[in-house]
Amino acid sequence: MARMKFLCDAERCIECNGCVTACKQEHDVPWGVNRRRVVTINDGVPGERSISVACMHCSDAPCMAVCPVDCFYRTEEGVVLHDKDLCIGCGYCFYACPFGAPQFPQAGAFGLRGKMDKCTFCAGGPEKDASDAEFRKYGRNRLAEGKLPACAEMCSTKALLGGDGDVIADIYRNRVLKRGKGSEVWGWGTAYGQPPKPAAPPPQKG
Amino acid sequence: MKTSKRIQAAGCAVVVAAASLMLAGCGEKSQDLAAAKTGRYQGKADSQPWDNDPGAFAAGNFTKGDRAGWEKALATRAQAQNEYGRAQ
């Protein structure tokens, strides 16, 4: 069974923002909302790295845990989606998310928050697939067309990989073996790692 | 005499009104959404990506309801991200 994941190769990302542009164009994302963005660490310092960040569709998603109206769900392929008709725009998910993925469009003249918007892994939402309602609320449903997320497919250096976790992990493993460095995958431990196990009790004396 | 009866009647009316107000407070309906406390998804159901007509822009060779074909189409497409595979 496919388990959808994103993987960003910091050794390859050149901060071109092609993924950001592809996402905005594909889903007609409104002004002020960035489902994906590129973050640069140690900018201007030798060894700086850039990483493309969006919703990682976590295995144990904190947004899902804190939502007061339970508008999140996880599909069989592991994609975390939400129902915008149910979202009240409270912002709890934004504070819970370790990746800053949830976005809130300005919905009024006084800075009123609108309903949350985030990366859907190009899987649409709870509306009829490929319908106008789905596109208007969630963007295009590429998964239902047998395609992968536009950001990953558009990436010029193939730094951003998206798809079944086993497949993209194989691609990345092969790449690391060929170049001999850069095996650290940013964000994977946070998004897909196991919760820490409780420490074993100290041995009893005597 | 009449005045004292009127005062008694007015007193009874006040007591009955106060009691009915207090009882109304006891009869208030709960405003909690019981279902929302279950910790489960409360929204609309979503269809599976392989469970619809692929449409004119579909990639790969899969038909409606063909999950294995859909997964194969995605796995094939994912290999386009592997330039080591493409270069060989």
- The pTM (predicted TM-score) of the whole model is 0.81
What pLDDT sits at residue A121?
97
Count CB-CB contacts under 10 A for residue B12: 10
The chain A residue lying nearest B70, using CA atoms, is: A146
| A118, amino acid identity | K
Distance from CA of B59 to the nearest CA of A (A): 5
With contacts defined as CB-CB under 8 Å, which chain A residues touch B42?
Answer: 69-71, 83, 86
What mean pLDDT do residues A19-38 have? 94
What pLDDT sits at residue A126?
94
Do A137 and A27 contact (CB within 8 A), yes or no? no
pLDDT digits (tens, 9 = 90+) for B26-46: 666 655 554 445 568 888 999
With contacts defined as CB-CB under 8 Å, which chain B residues touch A145?
Answer: 54-55, 57-59
What pLDDT sits at residue A196?
65
Structural domains of chain A ordered from first start: 4-192 (3.30.70.20)
pLDDT digits (tens, 9 = 90+) for A120-155: 999 999 999 989 999 999 999 999 999 999 999 999
What pLDDT sits at residue A131?
92
What pLDDT sits at residue A202?
73
Query: Would the pLDDT of A183 be above 90?
Result: no
Residue A130 zone, left/alpha/beta (φ > 0; ψ -120 to 50; rest): left
Spatial separation of the C-alpha atoms in residues A104 and A87, rounded to whole Å: 11
How would you class B48 by CB atoms within 10 Å of its CB: exposed for 0-12, middle for 13-18, buried for 19 or more? middle
pLDDT digits (tens, 9 = 90+) for B42-82: 889 999 999 888 777 788 778 889 999 999 999 999 999 99
CB pairs under 8 A between A and B: 115
Spatial separation of the C-alpha atoms in residues A100 and A117, rounded to whole Å: 12
CA neighbor of A129 nearest in space, from A146, A149, A152: A146
What pLDDT sits at residue B27?
65
Spatial separation of the C-alpha atoms in residues A138 and A30, rounded to whole Å: 11
Tokens of A46: 């030798």
* Buried residues in A7-28 as b, exposed as e (16+ CB within 10 A): bbbbebbeeeebbbebbbebbe
Tokens of A166: 């086993």
Query: Would the pLDDT of A114 be above 90?
Result: no
Question: Which of A4, A7, A129 to probe the B interface (max B CBs under 10 A)?
Answer: A129
Q: Which of A35-44, A138-147, A194-203 has the lowest mean pLDDT?
A: A194-203
With contacts defined as CB-CB under 8 Å, which chain A residues touch B46?
Answer: 73, 75, 81, 124-127
Spatial separation of the C-alpha atoms in residues A26 and A36, rounded to whole Å: 12
Instruction: Quickly state the pLDDT bin for A206 (edges 50, 70, 90).
Output: low
Spatial separation of the C-alpha atoms in residues B61 and B56, rounded to whole Å: 12
H/E segment holding residue B15: helix B2-26
What pLDDT sits at residue A41?
93
Question: Which of B44, B46, B53, B61 to probe the A interface (max A CBs under 10 A)?
Answer: B46
